Structure 1
Amino acid sequence: MGNKGSKGSALPPADAAGTLAAAECTGDPKSGRVWLPLNALRAFEAVGARLSFTGAAAALHISQSALSRHVGRLEDYLGCRLLERRAQGMSLTAAGAALLPVVTGSFDRMEETLKMLRREPGPSGRILKVHMPPTFLHVAGLSLIAEFRRAFPDVPIDISSSNGIGLPAGRSVDIAVVFDRPHVGDAIRDPLWMINQTPACAPQIAARAQGLGLYDFLRTNELLHVKLEGEPFDVFWSIHARHCGIDLGATRGLAFETEALAVQHAIAGGGVTLVDPDMFAAELADGRLVTPFPETTSPTGFGYYLTVHPDDMVDPAVALFRSWVVRHYATVDAEYDAPGD
């Protein structure tokens, strides 16, 4: 991600930096468009990707002082700090973290288009950067990618994964499956899978539920949680308890980074977790996992959404992947909704 600045011509000499930055920030009275400080943005991208002025200066073949002036003028132009310089190292501010993936993505798209127009030798297909949450990737994403690759083997894919709500911060991705609540925003969001949950555990744990109600069963067993960035420790159990009308006091038990890990621990007899019956249909079908209170299945308000920025829809690879995934899930939903024989 951070090497884009080293391609093409280097930044101008240090003594030209001030003149060029001033020229870049002026407007074109004929077009009405503000000319962006491209060299300063390229300098910021190199520093932000490496969190090092030394490494960025070496990559761009300019002095650190010239690089620092470029970044400083960009901060002056924006009216906010992009980088925090501390004794223990450098970090991006909130503004810098928001700007970096946008700058990197824009330079990537320009570079790909210029390569296409120049018809440079080498592979004609660009690498499609796809991001998915860990549990979705483990349960559904890998097979989805495999099917897509069989249909379109000429589209290379770079897969990344991280846990959290919404688009991953600080990452340059072309299209992503995100775990989130429904909301309106700038991105194009196609709903793939709305999450419902019910308590699930190993068969020997479920045997203890005989004669017990939901509240008593849960109070006498270890609760397994799934951590969600920015949400309380017991977010999912609290949602389920409210739906069932019980006061669970769910801030106890074990918390895992992903739902897949919580399910593995539940299968091993480690406690009770919440699962989407459709997502973990295989584990339920073969009896490794059971749901002792299926009637308590409740909506969570969360779901998986295929997410892409409108500007990226002009990219043929992005448009192809989006349309294929949306068609795939439309087919799956139709199969679930079809009446039985």
Structure 2
Amino acid sequence: MEAKGLPFPRPDVVEPARSTEAEPPDGGRVWLPLNALRAFEAVGQRLSFTGAAAALHISQSALSRHVGRLEEYLGCRLLERRSQGMALTAAGAALLPVVAQSFDRIEETLKGLRRQPGQGGRVLKVHMPPTFLHVVGLSLLAEFRRAFPDVPIDVSSSNGIGLPAGRSVDLAVVFDRPHLGDAIRDPLWMVSQTPACAPEVAARATGLDLAAFLRANELLHVKLEGEPFGTLWSVYTRQRGIDIAVSRGLAFETEALAVQCAVAGGGVTLVDVDLFASELADGRLVTPFANATSQSGFGYYLAVHPDDMADPAVALFRSWVVRRYAQLPSVPG
């Protein structure tokens, strides 16, 4: 990550320690150690004092003093050295994305204030899971840009459950279970899934029930960060009352890859019937058994932090996407 170049005091000047006991008498903000926070962000992003010092153009000793003062200020450790290298503590992992996002927003606002008239608005940072992005997200973003060409968008993508860790984004489409949290989540759709495969694989289902068919074929899985191998198949077979071993087969990083393997005849995958409606409609994928669709317990949500709701670009994108999905009986292809 490049050094931000924020117009804060020089990073090589170590701030004096200040007492955290007294609150401001006038109800104002508490003192914030900006240099120390900037130093911690650089080290935390790289997990290296050497790399962070080079990026900030300061000595490692000054950088170490900054981080030490911040830990003293907070009363807890943020970084720890291990045999494999440096690592964030739980406190450090909680603080780093907040610091990074705050600095990013300050920098973006300052850039916006410095722009000359006619240069356009700020860049909106949007995150989407890879399969969602490839199947429906690209067309969705193109449609939004046609409607609002003055809103530039920076798109990022990573595979996982929930909000992307360690990333500074304004809005994120997330794949997750329903739950309460800090972010505001607008449901886009809940995932309905069914076993699907290539026509030549489905032809082998003759005379078999669903359980026997699944036992006889390769299971194709989608890896979910923080979840055990075969989670989606485990949920499905439990819902259907099927007793088969799901800890076998091939696991892929994205659902799109699992579907490609299934289309090529590589096995049976659990397919999102809305997201891959076109593959099912044109016969590239077939469902060998009728009435075999179940709710996965996961869904796609548009997530935004409450603090960002007042941002005009964030509010515009959120309301447009929510209206776009509210008008559709199923997922756009």
TM-score for the superposition, normalised by structure 1: 0.90
Deviation at 1:87, TM superposition (A): 5.7
SS in 2 for 1:11: coil
Instruction: Name the structure 2 match of 1:257.
Output: 253
1:3 is the counterpart of 2:12:
no
Deviation at 1:26, TM superposition (A): 5.7
- Give the aligned length: 332
Gaps of 5+ in 2: none
Q: Shift of residue 56 of structure 1? A: 2.8
* CA–CA separation in structure 2 for the residues paired with 1:190 and 1:157: 20
Counterpart CA distance in 2 for 1:61 and 1:220 is 61
Alignment of 1:17-36 (within 5 A): 17-19=14-16, 21-22=17-18, 27-31=23-27, 33-36=29-32
Contact 1:187 1:309 in 2 (8 A): yes
Helix, strand or coil for the counterpart of 2:242?
A: coil
- Tell me the distance in 1 between the aligned counterparts of 2:43 and 2:2: 8
**Equivalent residue runs for 1:95-134 within 5 Å:** 95-118=91-114, 123-134=119-130
Which has more helix, going by share of residues?
1
C-alpha spacing 1:26/1:87, structure 2 compared with 1 (3 Å): farther
Match of 1:64 among 57, 60, 68: 60
% identity of equivalent residues: 76
* Unmatched runs of 5 consecutive residues or more in structure 1: 337-341
Q: CA deviation at 1:85?
A: 3.1
In structure 1, how many angstroms separate the alpha carbons of the residues matched to 2:263 and 2:331? 28
Please, what TM-score do these two structures have when normalized by structure 2?
0.92
- Paired residues of 1:227 and 1:233 also in contact (CA < 8 A): yes
Kindly indicate whether the alpha-carbon contact (under 8 Å) linking 2:275 and 2:331 is maintained by their aligned counterparts in 1. Answer: no
Question: Equivalents in 2 of 1:326, 1:151: separation in Å?
Answer: 15
For 1:91, the equivalent position in structure 2 comes to 87
Match of 1:226 in 2: 222
> Does the CA-based 8 Å contact 1:11-1:62 persist in structure 2?
no
Root mean square deviation of aligned Cα: 2.3
Provide the rounded CA distance (Å) in 1 between the counterparts of 2:180 and 2:143.
30
Cα distance change of structure 1 residues 296 and 7 upon mapping to structure 2, 3 Å threshold: same
**Paired letter, 1:44:** F
Which AA in structure 2 matches 1:154? D
Structure-1 separation of matches of 2:136 and 2:36? 41
Q: Are 2:135 and 1:135 equivalent residues in the alignment?
A: no
Aligned mates of 1:328, 1:309 — CA distance in 2: 20
In the alignment, residue 102 of structure 1 is paired with which amino acid? V
> Structure 1, residues 300-338: CA drift from partner, whole Å, max 9, x if none?
1100110111111122221111111111111113899xx
2:42 to 14, 38, 46: 46
3-state secondary structure, aligned to 2:328: helix
Corresponding residue SS for 1:327: helix
Q: Residues 319 and 284 of structure 1: is their aligned pair in 2 closer, same or farther, counting only changes over 3 Å?
A: same
Which secondary structure state, in structure 1, belongs to the residue aligned with residue 329 of structure 2?
Answer: helix
Measured in 2, the distance between the counterparts of 1:9 and 1:94 equals 27
Give secondary structure in 1 for the equivalent of 2:228.
coil
The answer as to whether partners of 2:79 and 2:89 remain within 8 angstroms in 1 is: yes
What is the Cα deviation at residue 46 of structure 1? 2.1
